[in-house]
Structure formats: C-alpha cells, structure tokens
Amino acid sequence: MREVGIRSVSIDDICHELGMSKKTFYVYFATKDDLIQAILDDHYTTVEHGMEHFFASCESLWRAIERVMEQLSSMSDVRRSLPFVHDLNKYYPAMAKKHYEDIFALHEGAMRRVIVQGKQEGLFRPTIDDDLAANLLARLHTDVIQDGIKHDGNDGVSFKRLGDFAVDVMLRGMFTEEGLHKYEALLKSK
C-alpha cells in the first residue's frame, strides 16, 4: 500500500501476501477501512515513541539540533509513501484529517519541549512565546515534510535543501547571541 497506494491493493492481495485466508483477515479487521485506521494508529505510535526516544537520547539542545538535521536529511525516503498519502487524502479524507491533526499535536509538543530546553540552557531568547513559537515551528515542519514529499526536486529545490534551510531560519530567529555563536560553530564543524 505504501508504494502503490491504498486503492491498488485488495483484501485478496493482502491475504495472499501474508499467507492467510480472508476469513482470518476478517477476524482482525471488519473492513479495509479498519485496516487503514490500524496502519495510521501504528504510524502515530511509532512517531510518538520515536519522539520520546529522541528526547531521552538528547543530553543537550545541541544534540537535539544535530539529530533534527540528520533526520531531515534522511527523510527523502518518505517519498516512497506518496501513493499511500495520495489515496489517503483522496478516498479517506476524514481519517487523513484526524491523523494529520494528531501528528501535528505531537510535533507541536516536541517543539515546545525544544524551546523550553533552549531557554533553560540560555540559548534561546527568553521573550519567545512558547506556545506561539511551538505552533509556528510545528506548522513549518509539517508543511516542509508534506510539500517535500510531493515536490522533491520537481522545482529544482531538493527536500533536504528545503528542510536544512527551514531549520536554519527557525533557529536563527530564536537564538540568543551566545546560542547563535554556538550554532555557527556547529555548522562550521560539519
């Protein structure tokens, strides 16, 4: 489904690929819609656990920034999901809307944590409105990913380049002078 789209895969295809009968499939999923919802739920859980692991493994704001840059660089693999995303938006708009809202809320919470940590470390300006900045950063992050999936390279701007630029612009607007100097040093070391 990820690579060919939801509509291109039948229950028969799924059962054949998994080596199970349709009767067994229907024990777990009453409809194909239920399967799609289970896939979205699993994606949400994966993102949620990934964020928790991310924060647990980042001992400082600098490590978090490095990890975000690494993740954006490797996200072009997400383009393989374009047929799934297309079908989800077109044929399951209510499910898509709810899923995007849930994922956005996770991103917004993560951005808020980064902002608070940056302020505590004296690297982000203390006057930044945490809620407003978190909302804006989550929107930028979501838009860069959504647009990057659809348009990577089509307009001469790669997903990686767009993501790197978005992170750079976001961070420069929030740093204190000390934070900006450390950020510049981090960029030079790469």
- Spatial neighbors of 86 by CB under 8 A, at least 6 apart, are 5
Q: Are the C-beta atoms of 48 and 41 separated by less than 8 Å?
A: no
Could you give the percent of the chain with pLDDT greater than 90?
47
The class of domain 32-189 in CATH terms is: mainly alpha
Structure tokens at 96: 């898509």
- Cα–Cα dist 170/180, whole Å: 12
Residue ranges per structural domain of the chain:
32-189
Report pLDDT digits (tens) over 11-25: 999 999 999 999 999
Q: What is the pLDDT of residue 22?
A: 96
Its pTM stands at: 0.81
